Structure 1
């Protein structure tokens, strides 16, 4: 028996808190599923900042009526994630104006379709009429207990996107050089940072990949490039690295990266006859590491002179 339901109106505050915590956890699962590094508890303050062209701390407090410590804590987290920037007011240098950073704008573009699906799912969950708030809450919790909120949202997002069956894998053309650069830079800025080696290779893909016998592939959807990956020669022993994989923020979570990786594996094994592939990654990308292992990659000792500072794991797939 649900004790809180038995308390009737006396338990309203506790029940609202329970629903809130449940939905926050489920929303976090949605973000995690689509590899979005965002905390649902930051949503109200982040949304206020996205709605205004510059906002002060006091304006946020007035709009949300949150406590000042809660706002300060959220702003500190947003700042640490690089999603906001502070600028001095033109008239009062003591006043700080808060804006979205470039990374924050990218995050907003990534989150918008997620928020749209969340909004529609919640509306669907709360459409039924009721005679009291408690009755409405009973209906909502019944639905939440019957069907996973996060699963429903994920399914909704997928159903509102073109199926991956329409993805076409194409080879490199010079006209796609900028797209190759942009996709990878966005991914690096979202999850890590751009190293000098990244900038050098990504800005000259023909010099460092194509002209050395390497290959670059793109995922094409509705005549638009939505993902990329490369097979890059390294060293003088005929070794190839599976690298530079990136998917457009609006198309993550639909296994486009896995399609690109499978294409690379098939191409390396069956078309050019490579004996193996290697890759470098970072252990914080738990979902990616899981997928690499699923495809047969095994961990190798990481050499001290790895080309990427962010790499803390090296993996190999032997055919």
Structure 2
């Protein structure tokens, strides 16, 4: 019969919860044998009060990673048992603090041998290093929550599934949509944009240019173009939809464009952009584009940066 362990880490939360319940139940049995009716779930509060002195419910909730209502409910049980007391905060009389009562202090002293036995049993089950492992996991999750770790792996998986394909007429509206989305987010749509994006076959492909599309599970999620001109090719019309940022789609598109330009072997490869798009500029720089003097006026009002692609062998030799 299949058990939870057969699913590995996929059901780790369920397995840990079951182990936690078993440990709580075992310790509760021992407490009852000692004549103590308190649940073992209440004792983290008692440990914190013993070691830190008086604390508020808010302080306890934050240190234990539990909700304020849950801590309030447990504190009422402890108050009813007489093992904790409460007092007003000297700095704010409206704020109540919990502290160990004399009965609570006596209880903590009495249970010392029991806790040593519990620790020994835990070490027997999990090994003496288990506590250190839990500490490392706690610290790692504070630094980077579990959901973020899962999302990062999903992005890697999705990135591997991205296809870079050539333009097809059926994707004409996707090409336009992605670029309009990008322009409206960062600038505005100029007249030249409307013309080129509405008729990509006539304005890009027919003169000898290329359009690249990034497809993920049948959806077009990114694009860029090589527009043929007098001096070579312009890398242009680069856009990746916001929902799929972080999958290195822009890098994949640039790789395809550079490879196509290198096969053509004619002229230069340049681009125009805006200085406020710093992440994009860093991406271009990493791929061999260098800042250069503009040889002629830009056909975009938004452009204030001109860059030229320099193959590795040519970098550092100066500009044309």
TM range (shorter): 0.5 to 0.7
Equivalent residue for 2:242, pick from 241, 249, 266: 249
Residues 243-274 of structure 1, C-alpha deviations (whole Å, 9 max, x = no match): 101112211111011101011111111x2224
- Please show how residues 79-228 of structure 1 align to structure 2 within 5 Å: 132=71, 146-147=140-141, 154-161=148-155, 162-228=157-223
Aligned to 1:317: 309
Distance 1:212 1:182, change over 3 A: same
Contact 1:215/1:232, CA 8 A, preserved across alignment? yes
Checking the alignment, whether the CA contact within 8 Å between 2:158 and 2:216 is kept in structure 1 is no
Structure 2 residue aligned with 1:292: 284
Asked if the contact 1:231/1:264 (under 8 Å) is kept, the reply is yes
Where relative contact order (Cα < 8 A, 6+ residues apart) is larger, the structure is: 1
Deviates more, 1:208-217 or 1:302-311: 302-311
1:10-29 correspondence to structure 2 within 5 Å? none
Point out where structure 2 has 5 or more consecutive residues left out of the alignment.
Answer: 1-50, 75-135, 312-320
Normalised by the size of structure 2, how large is the TM-score?
A: 0.53
When the two chains are superposed, the root-mean-square deviation of aligned CA atoms in Å is: 3.7
Alignment CA distance shift 1:149-1:199 (3 Å): farther
Going from structure 1 to structure 2, the CA distance change for 1:157 and 1:9 (only over 3 Å counts) comes to same
Change (3 A) 1:223 1:128: same
Q: Contact 2:228–2:234 (CA<8 Å) still a contact in 1?
A: yes
Distance 1:132 1:281, change over 3 A: same
- 1:276 to partner: Cα distance: 3.0
